[in-house]
Amino acid sequence: MRGTTRKVAVAALSAVALLAAGCGSGEDGETDTPAAEAKTGGEITVRGCNPENPLIPQNTTETCGGTVIDAAFSKLVHYESETAAPKNDVAESIETEDNQTFTVKLKQGYKFHDGTEVKAKNFVDAWNYGAYAPNAQSSGYFMEPIEGFADLQCAGTANPEDPCEGFTPKAKEMTGLKVVDDHTFTIKTTEKVSNLPVRLGYSAFSPLPDVFFADPEAFGDKPIGNGPFKVDSWTKDQAIVLSKFADYSGEFGAKLDKINYKIYQDADAAYNDVLANNLDATDEIPTSALIDDKYQTDLPDRNAQKEEGVIQTVTFAPVNVDPLYADPKIRQAISMAIDRETIIKQIFNGTRVAATGWVSPVVDGYKADQCGEFCTFDPAKAKALLQEAGGFKGDKITLAYNADAAHKDWTEATCNSIKQNLGVECAAVGVPDFATLRQQVGDRKQKGMFRTGWQMDYPSIENFLTPIFKTGASSNDGDYSNPEFDALLTEAAAQQDPAAANAKYQEAEALLAADMPSIPLWYGKAVVGWSDKVTGVQITAFGTLDYSSISLK
């Protein structure tokens, strides 16, 4: 949340009501090993997965790459592990009198991994690069509130594969960004943005060193960040290795010397390696180990769970990609045919919470039952609604998922529920890995329904709505567009009072039930396990492992 005074500094932001997080095997979700037994230094190996894109902060919008980016880059703001409360990191202060012009002052002493100093221009240059449409950065949309963003976009082309074909934007730099001196810059937004300081801890707002602009492609394979860990190597489909940055000067360092992300194609394989002490931690417990709490028996005092800012959804392909699902009644009928509670009980052993809307309960502004009856299991109403829509015209409903993680069981169970309760064939279709699925979705080649999920970028109701459902948003996989929804988002962002802003965002969320661009399934609980070699394992409010707390025994 923001402070209540008109002049806002991130250091004064309140953590109250941001999260209502709970843990499983320990009150704080960590091992009971005494801190005295912990060591400084050493190397751990953890489960990793294939990043969708090169490791450039402005082009990373998924967790496989995001976990690495967050370890390698320090942003203006850092989110506290336990609560996600924002706290100044590289920023000395972020101040505004009107929620439209912000002055950012940087702490001195931060360095990039190549030894160069982090300066104001490194933030300004990075954000302009991300926003400039011909650079095709997936996080560029997060710069949209900044004045001049529209002049960096492409328009008027007929080629959906290359929206910038034959078109040069009016400008390469946003007018809303100005470097004042080496350690000061200003941000001016087109309209008032009440939660802008909270957003600035997201990876899209990372700085980039001067060397990046000489060869962005090479940088993506071995990025040079300014965080507590530097990237030593990335062997595609095998491993990403990070090591401690000796000249890191921030407050959020780590005890470890090295983190080795071992890339797995199968969640069971990673879990079995943890059991055998061949892997030090996994942030994903396979469904086979969730049944009857088997993981707690397998890993006594070596497991934890915590509510996280994550929601699992099913998204429908854009209408021009697959018109079979165009009618909202068909989408609503499918949603009502899914027995969420039984799937959560049988597949996840109660480690999920059935979703009643599109916003996670852990963030300020959450409102229950926004989806209404359409997220309530009701086979009779589901069938009636499908009949009203004229029935499903295709041979079968399909639900695509990435097969390199633990999604097979629940997607098949979801399809079985749809088939049993609607009388329509449904097939869960595995795609080899996450990167491939996201490529197909991004290229608008994935038909039918497909697995989607959202891990909050920053702790705000706005983050579960704007990036996913606003017209043209970067993560709007179904190409959803509703002018009334967009207008409410704009009204919400202009509010000075946090409660008033939340009310407008809630109005916007309620509109999603009528259009059903995606089906909310369940809210996340992160469940992790670790080897007997490590201690201090904690889960962040984002559902990721907190590498600042882990150490070897």
* Boundaries of every domain in the chain: 10-15+43-262, 312-525
C-alpha 176/C-alpha 254 separation (Å) is 35
3-state helix, strand, coil in the chain (%, to 5): 30, 20, 45
Read off the amino acid at residue 338: I
10-residue averages of pLDDT along the chain (553 residues): 25 28 35 56 95 94 92 96 91 94 97 98 98 93 94 75 82 98 97 90 97 96 97 96 97 95 94 97 91 93 92 97 97 98 92 95 92 98 97 97 91 97 97 92 96 90 94 92 96 87 96 97 94 95 92 95
* Angstrom distance (rounded) from CA 295 to CA 275: 10
Q: How far is CA 141 from the centre of its chain?
A: 14
Please report the pLDDT score of residue 37 as a whole number: 59
CA quadruple 47, 49, 54, 56: dihedral sign: negative
Distances (CA, A) of 210 to 54, 69, 90, 105, 533: 18, 18, 17, 20, 40
User: 531: closest CA among 271, 261, 268?
Assistant: 271
C-alpha separations of 329 from 380, 389, 514 in Å: 14, 6, 9
- Tokens (6 digits) for 341: 């509670």
pLDDT the model gives residue 28:
40
Segments in 57-175 forming alpha helices (H) = 63-72, 120-131
Q: Which of 73, 51, 163 is nearest to 118 (CA)?
A: 73
The conformation of residue 118, written as its DSSP 8-state character, comes to: P
Read off the pTM: 0.77
Length of the chain: 553
Chain centroid, CA 479 distance in Å: 18
* pLDDT tens-place string over residues 136-171: 998 998 999 999 999 999 876 556 667 788 888 999
Helix 328-336 and helix 379-388: axis angle, to 10°? 160
Q: Which residues contact 135 (CB under 8 A, 6 or more apart)?
A: 58, 129, 216
Contact 386, 330 (CB under 8 A): yes
Q: What is the pLDDT of residue 25?
A: 34
Domain 10-15+43-262 falls in which CATH fold? D-Maltodextrin-Binding Protein; domain 2 (3.40.190)
pLDDT of residue 128: 98
How far apart, in whole angstroms, are the C-alpha atoms of residue 123 and residue 129? 10
Given this model, what pLDDT does residue 227 score? 97
- CATH class, domain 312-525, is alpha beta
Return the bridge partners of 78, or none: 87
Per-residue pLDDT at 411? 97
The rounded distance, in Å, linking the Cα atoms of 416 and 419 is: 5
Rounded CA-CA distance 512/490 in Å is 16
* Tens digit of each residue's pLDDT (9 = 90 or more) over 339-348: 999 999 999 8
